[in-house]
Structure 1
């Protein structure tokens, strides 16, 4: 393969120029039109002084400008820093500071998000590299920085010559989930993005004449970006939601005979809730889902009976989303588990025993380590964090816990920080949570580990059903069904679990649950 085969430009199939690449709000954009928009945007960026190595922050909902900006930046050798539309001032300031973005492309307004008000809380001194804003949908917004209108598609600019030797350089920065010091920026190149997109198209056996994607995840995250790029690589049409809402998603799924979609368990739950039809999606073949909420197994079972086939998968910003996915030939119980079969034939997954440091045997839980063409370049401007995340032989330390299945697939079990070492054994919280949810009076459950009198024990939080559960009855039932070290030392009834928003959905704040457990135990 030549280096051009690894460019983002190579994903847009020239032989299908007249075919639709995207459909935004019912309006198709052909591949030829998309190519034109890339050229116009590259010329516009060059006119703004953006060149090789410069960083452009993109704070947009899903729109054609987002994708054109990424492809145009790639053409110039520039870098796009993806900004989550859920971010607020501290998070935006951190991303702008760490990335060193010179230009930010931002929405004038979108629904209830007041971009100008959020930026008003960002001091210019915090982000010294930022020079100006380019506003989509308006000439300017009230802000500390000079504004220009993003008018790349409205008037011609002198063509910009493409940068050379930039296939392996950073082109896209994702934010990690975050730490107390703020999220790191995960750098990907055109090579990592384009080669993985091609692997996704091949592994899913996508046919441009038969398959289509409903893109309902935000492009600012790897889940939304990777699935979109995979379908572009296949030459299949991508129907785009600017931001997820269940009603328009349902409408597109049914009217456009969509075959594939990817999202969180909560997204698919909301879509199913809007239709009473027994099997409303006869054309759906694959719905890849990330399980962020309790009750995902019950959702998967209901979805299966109604013709919405959910497939477990695995990914991260560092190895990209859709790193792996279950197969249609897998048994249902295996198909809905996180993990699956790597998309790339070159990908390698191994499991390391967290106690001994040795590689674990099949079926034994441990830390997941990955080597693959989809792996990131490193953490942007953070060589120390990069060194800590990569082994001497080039495997990424995912921070996740899982096990090898023995047939070429693997199972993701939990985040390493959530895994519990109880009675000398590594235990995934979901095992205990599932047992609790099978008990009368329990609508939902979450389990965390705490230090109790020098011993690791688990504590459960349950949301009651109509008839609240009795703790003694719950404990008795769990003792009958689980090893003694898995039985919670405390079971607390709560109205709701603490949650946080991410680019891909709402996630449980397990760290906050651990703090709540310790506070309640201390107060006893």
Structure 2
């Protein structure tokens, strides 16, 4: 039968909290280099001391257990400090995608009931303060600690971080570094370690305390917030340490954003193994190669977008990449997996499959698995997790070798979607199995092979995007009568959006106008790559649009254009 089980062999972290892990790592690996960011180098004990200081500062500011704290910042040490500090005081972290624009940000902050926002002024060409200004034109004059904004009804305080050389904070915001300094002053009497007040917060935590809400797009029109807990996150990513054979000798290049589920994986796995995290804020082939050579990187994360960019990088062989030993990534095509292991000589590359709803990966291959398994499957269930494949229509279990929906059971499952019991009922069955909405099969040895998505979703550059979300946004443009978005193959990003648009009578709309509108208000990877206008829709007997037919038509059209070029 298509059912694979792995029992927990070592459960040292399942009942623990982030505070336990932070203290353990700081003691175990005290002088080991934990983080490298540009010229800045931070040891495990130094990072923990900064976390404690910022945590105490948040308490002084009024952040209470159970409060939602949104973190909207590019990858940098302050992101890590906040990501640890928020959950160790019993608050709940809400990572915000740095590609989001005003529409996305407003939804996440409002739906999560975030009462505190930690935000950077700007990164690269994007001003987060300007986007905040689109949501609240009077944000600079809000009373500190008592914000009142109709678009963000729960928001009470904003903590700002200035990264621009000539930047400054408005009086409405508390300064990140000032809060850290205040917290450090509070902890001076205890040598920078937790005082009675902070220890009281820590004592209130356990493995089942919710640590963070990760927003993930599903079949509904807007993202859903998966509530995941301290213990499962720690235990699951501790298992990853063993699969990748991570030690204090390893150095991880974090070229996938910290706000992702992947960011949680490498933050926790590197901390628990004593490995060093080298932070770069974006992936670029030359920068990747330079950092691998300079920092003697042994581990990284590979999605197919990264692989395709590296394959196209003409100077690849000029760099010494011989330190690379292992890595993991989103389900990679077999050819891409072999290219990384053979051309880039990453001999112990492993594969995985997971979801935000499952505390990261639910199946993994191991460094010592045969290459055929690592390249062609996503692995066997992690400790304490069961996987079964069911018929999409009947929900009956399927035998190995048959494709159906991937269903998951075990300690890793989320508590549910924040304030979305209707969505909980859609994904959890009566036995408590989570229905992933993804297709897969199990081979005779119990290894999972991911086969795509059941849900109407596209995945450009590794980001899950519900097409209905894009459709609803397109229909907000003046003159758009109908919008349908499907996914089409893309060599670099894996999949991109193809939008079919029906304009209202007399409306004068161009593809460029629609794409520009999208770029201004939603994440870049949600912007449709192609736009086609139509007024004839293929319909079912119940007058629903046949999206699969449109998807096939779009793919065929693009293939013909390539052949004719």
Q: Same fold (TM over 0.5)?
A: yes
Corresponding residue number in structure 2 for 1:487: none
Match of residue 318, structure 1, among 357, 362, 376: 357
Tell me, yes or no, if the aligned pair for 2:13 and 2:234 is still in contact at 8 Å.
Answer: no
1:296-307 equivalences under 5 Å are 296-306=333-343, 307=345
- Higher mean displacement: 129-138 or 270-279: 270-279
1:36-435 equivalences under 5 Å are 36-123=49-136, 124-137=149-162, 146-151=172-177, 152-155=179-182, 156-159=184-187, 160-162=197-199, 163=201, 164-167=203-206, 168-208=208-248, 210-272=249-311, 273-277=313-317, 280-291=320-331, 296-306=333-343, 307-309=345-347, 310-330=349-369, 332-337=371-376, 339-342=378-381, 344-417=382-455
* CA gap 1:276/1:217 in 2 versus in 1, 3 angstroms: closer
1-side partners of 2:375 and 2:226: how far apart? 28
CA RMSD of aligned residues (A): 3.4
> Which residues of structure 2 form unaligned runs of 5+?
1-10, 137-148, 188-196, 458-485, 492-514, 531-545, 557-565
Corresponding residue number in structure 2 for 1:447: none
In the TM superposition, what is the alpha-carbon distance from 1:514 to its structure 2 partner? 5.8
In the TM superposition, what is the alpha-carbon distance from 1:348 to its structure 2 partner? 0.8
User: Residue 363 of structure 2: SS of its match in structure 1?
Assistant: strand
User: Residue 77 of structure 1: SS of its match in structure 2?
Assistant: coil
Corresponding residue number in structure 2 for 1:6: 16
Tell me, yes or no, if the aligned pair for 2:409 and 2:432 is still in contact at 8 Å.
Answer: yes
Q: Deviations over 1:417-475 (max 9, x none)?
A: 369xxxxxxxxxxxxxxxxxxxxxxxxxxxxxxxxxxxxxxx997889xxxxxxxxxxx
1-side partners of 2:414 and 2:367: how far apart? 29
1-side partners of 2:114 and 2:488: how far apart? 42
In the TM superposition, what is the alpha-carbon distance from 1:48 to its structure 2 partner? 1.4
In the TM superposition, what is the alpha-carbon distance from 1:255 to its structure 2 partner? 2.3
1-side partners of 2:527 and 2:358: how far apart? 20
How many matched pairs? Answer: 441
Tell me, yes or no, if the aligned pair for 2:363 and 2:380 is still in contact at 8 Å.
Answer: yes
* CA gap 1:462/1:147 in 2 versus in 1, 3 angstroms: closer
> Which residues of structure 1 form unaligned runs of 5+?
420-458, 465-497
User: Residue 402 of structure 2: SS of its match in structure 1?
Assistant: coil
Corresponding residue number in structure 2 for 1:18: 31
User: Residue 354 of structure 1: SS of its match in structure 2?
Assistant: coil
In the TM superposition, what is the alpha-carbon distance from 1:505 to its structure 2 partner? 7.5
1-side partners of 2:46 and 2:13: how far apart? 24
TM value normalised by structure 2: 0.71
Q: Deviations over 1:43-94 (max 9, x none)?
A: 1111211011111110011122222212212221001110000001111000
In the TM superposition, what is the alpha-carbon distance from 1:516 to its structure 2 partner? 6.1
Higher RCO structure (Cα 8 Å, ≥6 apart): 2
2-side partners of 1:242 and 1:520: how far apart? 33
Tell me, yes or no, if the aligned pair for 1:263 and 1:289 is still in contact at 8 Å.
Answer: yes
* CA gap 1:397/1:30 in 2 versus in 1, 3 angstroms: same
User: Residue 352 of structure 2: SS of its match in structure 1?
Assistant: strand
User: Residue 379 of structure 2: SS of its match in structure 1?
Assistant: strand
User: Residue 369 of structure 1: SS of its match in structure 2?
Assistant: strand
User: Residue 350 of structure 1: SS of its match in structure 2?
Assistant: strand
User: Residue 357 of structure 2: SS of its match in structure 1?
Assistant: coil
1-side partners of 2:524 and 2:254: how far apart? 12
